[in-house]
Each structure stands twice: as structure tokens, then as C-alpha cells.
Amino acid sequence: MKVLVCGGAGYIGSHVVRVLLDKGYEVVVLDNLSTGHRQSVPEEAALEVGDIRDAACLERLFLRHEVDCVMHFCANSLVGESMEKPIEYYDNNVYGTLCLLRSMVNNDIKHFIFSSTAATYGEPERLPIDEDTPKHPTNTYGETKLAVEKMLHWMEGAYGLHYKVFRYFNASGAHPSGEIGEDHAPETHLIPLILKTAQGIRDKIYVFGDDYDTPDGSCIRDYIHVMDIAEAHILGMEDLVKSETSDVYNLGNGNGFSVLEVIEKVKAVTGKDFTVEIADRRAGDPGVLIASSEKAQKALGWSPVNSSLEYIIETAWKWHQGHPEGYGLV
Ligand code: UDP
């Protein structure tokens, strides 16, 4: 079975590619390398450099490769940036996905796995967040992902295109080999920023707000290991191909950790001490986001086995130590 992984050179996509190959699937990666890294794509995967908004490129790709399932990770995904550049976010995340779906329909490809986000929920009305929690995105990024989720519903009715949507909470950690990991420019995510501080690449870590309604005042998030996310995608795809049933699942581990707790854990795992400074809240940050992933666990037999905070930090630390400059310049 051949799987097209759009965005397979990015952080989450590259981990999914490794797990697909390990399980014996044939993999084609489509990536425009705007934020992805050529070096993260192993030789066993065919890399096509191109953009999902380029209809001719998609048609050529589907002519060359008989694809059974498309996994879609291409997106702009920075909350702050999405508020400043909504046109770019709608263009890549919504219009880009529309182009991809159009080409899939033209080529009679009926299985689609979509990468969505906890940002679709906004400030949640209840905790833990299950899939039926009302969705009121507080930023353009979450809104564009929700727009695609809605689009998929109508596509299924009209074209029989079946899908699984995964809403990730805080993706983190790295492949246990230390060969691939998180490399964003600019980096805005908490765990890589703390690790860069532990390495001495940054001089301090800022805690964005210590006056939230949480035990220590800092924000609480649900960190989920990227290998658990990858495993869920394969289970979701296998279920989709067998059952032809579309569904939406949260992916989190159900445990929340505060920013200060994550910092303490990094100090313990790395044995490094560094400066921590309390700063203002970051605009748009909800105080607490914790997932219920019971649905994925029950329906797909998935379990977040790699998602202890310690293992997340250990694997990310291994990646950062081996790649202090990430993948380096292409
Ligand atoms: N955060 C922080 N300092 C940083 C980066 C992030 O205190 O330098 C906080 C941020 O406010 C949030 C949590 O860490 O509460 C996780 O942020 P991240 O950007 O990693 O993921 P998000 O939850 O925004 O998807």
C-alpha cells in the first residue's frame, strides 16, 4: 500500500514517515520545503518537492504514483503569526487543502488523514476536552483547521472521500534514534526553547504568565510524544481503509503539566541549571488545555505509551544535543 505524506519533511510528518516505513508501507513525500527539511526524509521514501496549491504538480504526482491514502501535514501552524498573516494561513491551510482534495477526487483517491489541532476548541468550556467540546477558535490558525474539518464533512457526502482527523494537543519529543526532531525557525515552542536554554544557546527561558488560575500560576498543557502521534496515524489509516468510516479524535495523554513543572523536569533530566524569568502572558493563551483521548484509545486501540514528560524530554534532549543547529542550512 502506498501512502502520500504531504508535509512529510516537517516535524510531525517526518516521524510519521519513519513509522510508516518501519511497518512496511511505501511512502511518497510531497513537501515544498518552506519549513520542512530535506535531510529529515530517508532515502527509502520518494521525495517530491512541490506545493499542494500547484494543481499540475499534484496531477503529475498522482500519475507517477498509485496512492491509496493521503496524509496531510502541510500547514502554517504558528498561532501568533496566524493573527498577523491570516491571508497566508487561509491560502496554505484552507485553499491548499482544497486543491489537494480536488486532485484526490479527480484521481479517485478516497482515504484522507488530516492533521488538526486543539486550537480548534479555543478557551474550552469544560475539562478534559473531548471531541464534542464546543469549538470556538480564538486564533486564525485554529479557525483554518476547523474550516477544513467542516469541508471534509461535505466532501464525504458528495464524493465518498473518507477521512480521519486528529486534533493534537502539545506535540513534543523526538524519534528515539535522535536522528530527527523538532527544528522550527523561529522556534516558539516551550520544550525546545527550554532545551536550547539548557544547552546555553539561549540565555534564559521566559515563563509567559504566573497569574493563571492554576496551582503554580503558570499555564498547563497536555504534552503528547510525536511517536505516539505517529502511531495513531497508522492505526487511524488502517481502520479507515478497513471500515471506510470517517471520524475525529483528540491526541493527548490526559495529564497536564505547568510551564514551571516542565522547566523543573528539564533541569532534572539534563542536569543543567539556567535562568528562568517570569514575563507577561502571551496573547491568546488559554490557562489550561488537557485532552481526553479516550475515543482514540477505545476505537483505535491506541495508547500514549511514550508520553511521560520524562521520556518526552529525554528524547528531545538527545535530538538537540546531537543537532544544536537543527538540520543546519540546506
Ligand atoms: N511558553 C512559555 N515560554 C516560552 C514558550 C511558551 O511560558 O518561551 C508557554 C506558553 O505560554 C504555553 C506553553 O508554554 O502556555 C506551551 O506553549 P507552546 O508554544 O509550546 O505550545 P501551545 O500550547 O501554544 O500550542
The predicted model scores a pTM of 0.97
> What is the tens place of the pLDDT at every residue in 243-297?
999 999 999 999 999 999 999 999 999 999 999 999 999 887 889 999 999 999 9
CA–CA dist 277, 264 (Å, integer)? 13
Q: Using CB atoms within 10 Å of the CB of residue 285, give its burial: 0 to 12 exposed, 13 to 18 middle, 19+ buried.
A: middle
Atom of ligand 1 nearest to the CA of 262: 14
Contact 87, 141 (CB under 8 A): no
Average pLDDT, integer, range 117-129: 93
Contact 195, 234 (CB under 8 A): no
Contact 29, 5 (CB under 8 A): yes
Angle at 259 between CA 254 and CA 261, to 5 degrees: 75
Average pLDDT, integer, range 227-238: 98
Do 190-221+254-322 and 2-172+223-251 have the same topology in CATH? Answer: no
**Measured on CA atoms in the order 307, 249, 256, 324, is the torsion positive or negative?**
positive
**Looking at the predicted complex, does its ipTM rise above 0.90?**
yes
pLDDT for residue 125 = 85
CA–CA dist 119, 146 (Å, integer)? 9
| pLDDT exceeds cutoff 60 at 35 | yes
Contact 203, 328 (CB under 8 A): no
> What is the tens place of the pLDDT at every residue in 79-121?
889 999 999 999 999 999 999 999 999 999 999 999 999 999 9
pLDDT for residue 329 = 52
CATH architecture of 190-221+254-322: Alpha-Beta Complex (3.90)
> What is the tens place of the pLDDT at every residue in 49-83?
999 999 999 999 999 999 999 999 999 999 889 99
Helix (H) / strand (E) element for 146: namely: helix 140-159
CA–CA dist 274, 263 (Å, integer)? 10
324 C-alpha to ligand 1 centroid (Å): 21
For residue 271, is it left (φ>0), alpha (ψ between -120 and 50) or beta? left
285 C-alpha to ligand 1 centroid (Å): 8
pLDDT for residue 330 = 39
Catalytic residues: 141
CATH architecture of 2-172+223-251: 3-Layer(aba) Sandwich (3.40)
Q: Which of 295, 236, 183, 188 is nearest to 20 (CA)?
A: 236
Task: Tell me the three cell numbers of residue 249.
Answer: 479524535
The mean pLDDT of the chain is 96
Helices and strands: H and E segment counts in the chain: 11, 13
SS3 content of the chain, % helix, strand, coil (to 5): 40, 20, 40
Residues having CB closer than 6 A to ligand 1 are: 79, 170, 188-190, 193, 205-208, 219, 221, 259, 282, 285
41 C-alpha to ligand 1 centroid (Å): 28
Helix axes 309-322, 259-270, angle to 10 degrees: 60
Task: Tell me the three cell numbers of residue 19.
Answer: 513509522
| Every domain of the chain and the residues it spans | 2-172+223-251, 190-221+254-322
Average pLDDT, integer, range 152-166: 98
